[in-house]
């Protein structure tokens, strides 16, 4: 998925689906203002969650993002900004005429 462009809602949906899977709840029970801490993920579940996000969005992430971005909305915005920056960097790295 590295060359895919994402909408903010796509990223939020990815985050919510992955959280729901790890927390053992339905995705509709998790909203943008939901606190990641209150989901009660174990360290193993948190690691699996971050791994799923890395794979889904083709990003390298550190587990500390869960502490630095305490809500679904904050984490979504951070991930979206990373994707935008990655897309921009990739676009700049392609020599003219080769795209």
Distance CA 17, CA 39 (A): 13
- The predicted structure's pLDDT at residue 96: 60
pLDDT computed for residue 88 by the predictor: 84
Establish if 1 belongs to a structural domain. Answer: no
In this prediction, residue 85 carries a pLDDT of: 93
Answer whether residue 98 is part of any domain: no
Phi, psi of 35 (to 5 degrees): -80, 130
Does 57 map to a domain? yes
Q: Where are the alpha helices (DSSP H) in the chain?
A: 8-23, 43-57, 65-68, 72-93
Residue 1 pLDDT: 41
What gap in Å lies between CA 38 and CA 55, rounded to an integer? 24
Instruction: List the one residue out of 74, 77, 56, 58 whose CA is nearest residue 66.
Output: 74
pLDDT value at residue 6:
82
Q: Report residue 71: phi and psi, to 5°.
A: -120, 165
Evaluate whether residue 63 is within a structural domain. yes
Q: Looking at the 3D structure of the chain, how many domains does it have?
A: 1
Flag whether 97 is in a domain.
Answer: no
Per-position pLDDT tens, the chain of length 99: 445 678 999 999 999 999 999 999 999 999 999 999 999 999 999 999 999 999 999 999 999 999 999 999 999 999 999 999 998 877 665 566 655
Residue-level length of the chain: 99
| Domain containing residue 58: CATH number | 1.10.1200.10
Distance of alpha carbon 82 from alpha carbon 56, whole angstroms: 13
Query: What residue numbers bound the domain in which 62 lies?
Result: 8-90
């Amino acid at each position: 998925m590295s060359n895919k462009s994402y909408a903010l809602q796509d990223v939020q949906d990815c985050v919510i689906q992955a959280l729901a899977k790890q927390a053992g709840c339905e995705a509709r029970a998790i909203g943008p203002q939901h606190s990641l801490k209150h989901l009660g993920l174990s360290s193993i579940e948190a690691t699996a969650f971050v791994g799923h996000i890395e794979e889904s969005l083709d990003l390298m992430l550190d587990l500390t993002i869960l502490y630095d971005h305490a809500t679904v909305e904050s984490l979504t915005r951070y991930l979206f900004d990373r994707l935008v920056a990655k897309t921009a960097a990739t676009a700049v790295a392609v020599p003219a005429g080769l795209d």
